[in-house]
A and B are shown apart, each in its own frame.
Chain A
Amino acid sequence: GDSVTQMEGPVTLSEEAFLTINCTYTATGYPSLFWYVQYPGEGLQLLLKATKADDKGSNKGFEATYRKETTSFHLEKGSVQVSDSAVYFCALSQGGGFKTIFGAGTRLFVKA
Chain B
Amino acid sequence: DGGITQSPKYLFRKEGQNVTLSCEQNLNHDAMYWYRQDPGQGLRLIYYSQIVNDFQKGDIAEGYSVSREKKESFPLTVTSAQKNPTAFYLCASLDPANNQPQHFGDGTRLSIL
Q: Interface residues, chain A, CB within 8 Å of chain B?
A: 31-32, 34, 36, 41-46, 49, 51, 89, 91, 93-94, 96-100, 102-105, 107
Contacts and interface: CB of A to CB of B under 8 A. Distances in A.
A103 B96 CA distance: 20
Contact of A51 (B31, B41, B94, B99): B99
B69 interface: no
Interface residues of B, number: 25
Interface string B81-108: 0000000001010101111111111110
Nearest to A32: B99
A49 B101 CA distance: 8
Contacts of A100: 94, 101-102
Contacts, number: 64
23 contacts: A32-B98, A32-B101, A34-B101, A36-B101, A36-B104, A43-B4, A43-B6, A43-B90, A43-B105, A43-B107, A44-B92, A44-B102, A44-B104, A45-B104, A91-B101, A97-B96, A97-B98, A98-B96, A102-B43, A103-B42, A104-B42, A105-B43, A107-B40
